[in-house]
Structure 1
Amino acid sequence: MNNTCWCLPTEEKMDTNNMERTESQNQHPQSHEPPSTKGTTFIRTCFNGVNTLSGVGILSVPYALSKGGWLSLLLLLLVALLCFYTGLLLRRCMDSDPLIKSYPDVGQVAFGRKGRAIVSTFLYLELFFVAVEFLIMEGDNLHKLFPKENFVVFGNKIGGKQGFVLLSAVVVLPTTWLRSLGVLAYVSAGGVMASLILVLAVFWGGAFDGIGFHERGDLWNWSGLSTAISLFTFCYCGHAVFPTICNSMKDKSQFPKVLVVCFILSTISYGSMSIFGYLMFGEHLTSQVTLNLPTKNISSKIAIYTTLINPISKYALVLAPIATALEQTFPFRESKMMSCLIRTCLVTSTVFVALVVPFFGYVMAFIGAFLSVTVSILVPCLCYCKMVIGFNKFGVELMMILMIMLFGSVVAIVGTYTALTDIIKEIQPK
């Protein structure tokens, strides 16, 4: 999710963009320090890793389970295992060249400048659509809290949901003008706590606030399988951050253990939320579980307000790497006015997409199938084969990687087609 200035001129700029990328998915990155002097501890790195994997996907895992049925929980575990394994492959790619500091570096070492450009493009696209998701989420949940509100803009009456998207954009716009995002990065470190509060609030609503866990649901649903896998893959799209997290450690040899801890904790969180939500609302689940919660309950309000606060603090972090890259391509790159103009245009573009395609679940499924599968499954496998084992050395490992790539390709093609078809159906007049 990093883009133009696709081939950044210096390692310092590469590191800066990747640090900002780390922050973008509800995550708190650590600055790269020489391992001989400084670095993060094992526990702190685990915290950063869980932040990386604990994102807005937690809102949609119950919906994903409702699309695939109970047995699709096995797919959640499968996706977690595959992404864990490809995370290890990325680490091995880094070990093959000590100059690698970021994910785009891996692409460049493996396939040259074109590889770097492709990897960076996918990373930036993912960032952009995550920012769009933030605005859609804000509009949906604010409309849930205030369903009767309408807005008048330049004499035109705008519906509540669209109005709240615009209002959210106005609120976050000044934060995008800040070039120093240290405070926002600190706030974003609350991602793990926010996810925990959200899971507990949903559970409390079902257990003690009268909603109950009465729905049985389906065992298996073929028609929704591709959407379920796409949403599950979105939940584990932290690979662009892994090189930065690994480089931040005092003892990089412990990074595989960090991945084990992070993936186990994240899978417990995602699995718990999906089970609670599906038992509570069954086939009636919307793309965000908070939209199913009755607003009269205290637990529901806690869940919704927790959902609302996070995107506001992280939106600027998501757009910062894109803005920085764009600023490097324009003249007067040090001009504050030019920087504000570029960032304002970026915000405007995300607002436009959020208003045109306000379908949280379908957009997330598109991100998961088209972008996350590529970044988290296909690219690590390709780079590892090119850099480490070679495509000509047939063996058990290569065959397993080729099978993973085949699985990822099928998910990417079918999932992307399904998501785009669903979006087009919603956009077309009925």
Structure 2
Amino acid sequence: MKLKIFERFEQQQDGPAKAQGIAIWQAAIFIAAQIAGSGVLALPKAASDAGGWLGLGIMLVLCVNATFAGAHLGLCWAIAERHYPDLKTHIRNPYPTLGEKAYGRWLSIVISVAMQVELIGTGTVFLLLSAQIIETLLLPYELSVNACVWLPTLAAFLCPAMWLGSPKDFWQFGVGALLTTLTTCIIATVESINDAATGLLPPPDTSVTLTPKSFFLGFGVIIFSFGGASTFPTIQNDMRHREKFPISVMVAFAAIITMYVPVTAAGFAVYGHDVQSSILNSISSGPAVVAAQILIAIHLVTAFVILTNPATQYIEHLLNIPHKFGWKRCLVRTCVLLLMVFIGETVRDFGKVLSLVGGSTTTLLNMVFPPIIYLKFKSTLEPESTVPLWRKIYLLVILVIGLVGGVAATYSAILDIVGPQSFRKPCYIP
């Protein structure tokens, strides 16, 4: 299948297929699984913050932008492979490598730092949210075990899975993560509609109301919900046909937006601006909501393994640890997991971390770096191949939206974190 929009995927690169590696559909599952998850629960609230129905429109636009930029990040790797044959082997730090080939060592360092902050921060969010869901589920049984205890317990459970090598070693985790998210979205949508059908809820306030701070907080959460570009080159590097990665990106984002739109639209239409940070907290309690909470917790712990893998692989690369199972790998990845536990026990509020990560590093990795790397490669490595004007303009628009929106969203998130009554005592302080 060749799509004109991506110039036939740069003429279907002539590099050899890998004898072993994941297929196009497996790569799409990995992409969708590690993107869709915790963010989907916060989207109705994010849409409310971003102006209600206006926020839903922004979500659609940002989805198209993320798809376009993500596909071009895949094209960047294909271009790099054509001009740097050594990249056809397994590369443990593919995204920073692209930055270095395009602009030099400085961009490689910037990308590396952004990746580690995003992946470790997002991994912490996943652990925190999972622990809080478990705490909520056990409240009716009067168990006095809070999220501070469940956080290290979950980490201990996940630790052996983190020792696995790279995505091709645990593609089943991606299938499980995607199925749980899909089921959760269906439950949340149906139960929201059921709440509206009871006639017991007051008429929802769905007016377009927003402030600059609320708009950019919503922007940050929406960007986070489409975040994941930091893992794209790692997933692409494990494919049999790397040049077909843009197909995986488009399939994955089509599946993601299909899940996101019903949940967001139903949640805001039913609860209006009163919708809570997690849509599951707005829905009337019942067996279906409990099932959804269990499923999203399962998703978080399975997607966690996929999400944190690029960060640990890069750290191992810096430490010259062999790309094979051994005690050094186990030690490094265990230490990374302990760092996430410490951050989670210190911060405790996953929502604020989500907004901050989404507005800062996720925006850089998803909307800023892909356009500048692609345009640089085309101008220096393949100057004979002219970039169509429409494509260049669209990439520059994505870049500007990322820069302006990212700075504003990060500033708004910081104000929210340091605002009154935002501090929570760390778990380890009596």
TM-score, normalised with respect to structure 2: 0.78
Q: Which amino acid aligns with 1:229?
A: F
The equivalent of 1:374 in structure 2 is: 364
Quote the Cα distance in structure 2 between the aligned partners of 1:429 and 1:43. Answer: 43
Counterpart selection for 1:201 from 183, 187, 193: 187
Quote the Cα distance in structure 2 between the aligned partners of 1:107 and 1:341. Answer: 28
Q: Deviations over 1:270-307 (max 9, x none)?
A: 11111122234333333222233444x11101100001
Superposed displacement of residue 209, structure 1: 6.6
Compared CA separation, residues 131 and 283, structure 1 to 2 (3 A): same
Contact preservation (8 Å) 2:180, 2:298:
no
Superposed displacement of residue 128, structure 1: 0.3
Quote the Cα distance in structure 1 between the aligned partners of 2:350 and 2:253. Answer: 24
Q: Does 1:83 align with 2:61?
A: no
Compared CA separation, residues 380 and 335, structure 1 to 2 (3 A): closer
The equivalent of 2:395 in structure 1 is: 401
Contact preservation (8 Å) 1:141, 1:290:
no
Q: Deviations over 1:337-381 (max 9, x none)?
A: 555444343222212211222222221111111011100110011
The equivalent of 1:30 in structure 2 is: none
Contact preservation (8 Å) 1:71, 1:220:
no
Contact preservation (8 Å) 1:135, 1:354:
yes
Superposed displacement of residue 75, structure 1: 0.7
Compared CA separation, residues 162 and 286, structure 1 to 2 (3 A): farther
**RMSD between aligned residues:** 3.4
The 5 A counterparts of 1:314-333 are 314-329=303-318
The equivalent of 1:351 in structure 2 is: 341
The equivalent of 2:294 in structure 1 is: 305
Counterpart selection for 1:386 from 355, 376, 379: 376
Contact preservation (8 Å) 1:357, 1:423:
no
The equivalent of 1:10 in structure 2 is: none
Counterpart selection for 1:142 from 125, 134, 139: 134
Contact preservation (8 Å) 1:53, 1:262:
no
The equivalent of 1:219 in structure 2 is: 208
Counterpart selection for 2:281 from 272, 286, 291: 291
Unaligned runs of 5+ in 1: 1-32, 152-159
Give secondary structure in 2 for the equivalent of 1:286.
coil
Q: Deviations over 1:120-166 (max 9, x none)?
A: 22222211011101121022212222234334xxxxxxxx2323323
Range with greater deviation from structure 2 (89-98 or 252-261): 252-261
Quote the Cα distance in structure 2 between the aligned partners of 1:202 and 1:127. Answer: 27
Q: Does 1:265 align with 2:255?
A: yes
Superposed displacement of residue 397, structure 1: 4.8
Quote the Cα distance in structure 2 between the aligned partners of 1:86 and 1:180. Answer: 24
Quote the Cα distance in structure 1 between the aligned partners of 2:237 and 2:338. Answer: 35
Quote the Cα distance in structure 2 between the aligned partners of 1:314 and 1:258. Answer: 18
Quote the Cα distance in structure 1 between the aligned partners of 2:75 and 2:255. Answer: 23
Q: Which amino acid aligns with 2:221?
A: L
Give secondary structure in 1 for the equivalent of 2:418.
helix
Compared CA separation, residues 312 and 88, structure 1 to 2 (3 A): closer
Give secondary structure in 2 for the equivalent of 1:190.
helix
The equivalent of 2:116 in structure 1 is: 124
Compared CA separation, residues 322 and 256, structure 1 to 2 (3 A): closer
Quote the Cα distance in structure 1 between the aligned partners of 2:207 and 2:257. Answer: 21
Quote the Cα distance in structure 2 between the aligned partners of 1:348 and 1:238. Answer: 22
Contact preservation (8 Å) 2:227, 2:362:
yes
Quote the Cα distance in structure 1 between the aligned partners of 2:337 and 2:21. Answer: 34
Unaligned runs of 5+ in 2: 1-14, 89-93, 426-430
